[in-house]
Structure 1
Amino acid sequence: MSHSPDTADSPLGKSTTYVDQYDASLLYPIARAPQRAAMGIHGQPMFFGADLWTAYELSWLNLRGKPQVAIAQIMVPAESTHIIESKSFKLYLGSFSGTRIADAEEVRQRISQDVSSAMWSGGEKRATAGVKLVLADDFDNAPLHELDGLSLDRLDIECEHFHPAPELLSSAVEEKPVEETLTSRLLKSNCPVTGQPDWGSVQIRYAGPQIDQEGLLKYIVSFRGHDDFHEHCVERMFTDIWARCHPTKLSVYARYTRRGGLDINPWRTSHPGPMPASIRTARQ
């Protein structure tokens, strides 16, 4: 069981009134530090990266009152002090629905400014949330693609652990290093407040001693009964693999299925490189 996040005042798991007039105060930030401390991470983490959100239920009114629709892709850097609680994000985006706004660029700017303020929660802003809007005319061009890599799901394994079990992880430290990309569609965790299931796919890119694939798949499955937010699950995976398998490079990227019109796709990496393309999988 994970350390309980500070959600006492959040809308998560509560009956909620949905508003249709723009309200930036609906965004509810949750500090990253307590969950990182529970994993033994104090101060600057050994990773960086981003939380890549996709919002499929974004709509507003133009100045003549005609509804407009778009898909928003939002990038929250992992260096920010806070994550955004997902139900509050849904309520915030919903507040655009009855609001007259001049154009899509103004919507994009408002989302960027508001999320940037929330993810630093009153502290010094050291980075800005990236926001891209995909307009309706471009929906037909939106790609769908499974995560690249060798699927671990081909392995016929026996699973006995359904809470994170890092002891399942090992690597061939005495053998020649490798560089490979491994994937699984068997990731599942649970919301730490409501207990609702969170389904996802995960991609692990690394260089270094070859990771035992059966142990890695069993480890991924061991999150099945774990209660935590998506961002913290990926950080726990990164931390455990880094400590147990001793790679020289490591990236962990998960794409979770959407809930409430939102998907959250955390990416954590040990080294500089291009951010993963925001391309949804079939289940998203």
Structure 2
Amino acid sequence: MGLRHLLAPVVDEYSDPNAWNSDEHFPIKLALALAAAALALAAAQRAQKRPTKPKEGVLGEKCDAPETYSPDVLFPIPRTRGRRLLGLADGAVPFEGEDVWNCYEVSWLDHRGRPRRGAVELRIPCVSPNVVESKSLKLYLNSLNFKRFASTDEALSTIRRDVASVVGCLASELSARLCEDQPPMKGWTCVDDVCEDDVPESMLRRPDASLLKTTGDVVTERLCSHNLRTLCPVTGQPDWGTLLIEYEGPRIDHASLFCYIISLRTETGFHENAVERVTLDIDRCCRPAKLRVTGRFLRRGGVDINPIRSIRFGAATGLAQAFAPGQ
């Protein structure tokens, strides 16, 4: 039984303010004051005994992908937190080594505003005082999606500098390099490098099927792009994939197809919805005799989804023999 319960009858009896005016009630007032102090002290002691959970940055929080360059989202986690559990003294380790991070969802804009993507390998020395929290790194890399860089080297230098400042090492001690992640695409024509025009940012903000153009020549082609980016309607985070287009009909202008694909970068929808939109837009604007569209998306939680949609192509069975980067 707590003090509050024991003192309740006394508090009720003397709840009238006029009952406290005489000195004869001083002992009661003193007892109540002491009881209140005891309750406050007990609450403070309980709070001190409750362990404080270390802040984990954005881990466990729902966060939308940043749309502007945001190095401040990177969050450090001290290595000492895990090493003390191993009995290692702060700042002294009996080994050498590095942490190799493979980042498959790195994309930025080049000097013309055209989206570029690649897999970046980060090598962080194990003697750095911190590691970078993985979700914060993902959000940081997402924040580069609409930032222009004069060159690929400038983009990599920026990543190297920002990550090094968080893990606590010199930029020269941390490696950030673009590694080859393009899967074999024999028999497919990639449209990602055919556009030579400047791309205004407004083109990247709204799906625009009117960008699709044909030349009139009837051809049979297999086209692909590794620049498919849409937004998950649940998490607001980008989904990345390779788009495979097989068709027979008026030749689709490759640069116009690339511009159409990058116009989907802020489109919200599940993987299936994205592939269905592309299928319908190409069918309406380009009028192919046969069409099949496949989306090969990067895996999430060990699962990758690969929607296939066809129109006048035959049964939509059999996965196209091509893979997305990272698959």
- Which has the larger strand fraction? 1
Which protein has greater RCO, CA pairs closer than 8 Å, 6+ apart?
Answer: 1
Higher Rg of the two aligned structures = 2
TM-score (norm 2): 0.40
More helix by share: 2
Output the TM-score relative to the length of structure 1: 0.46
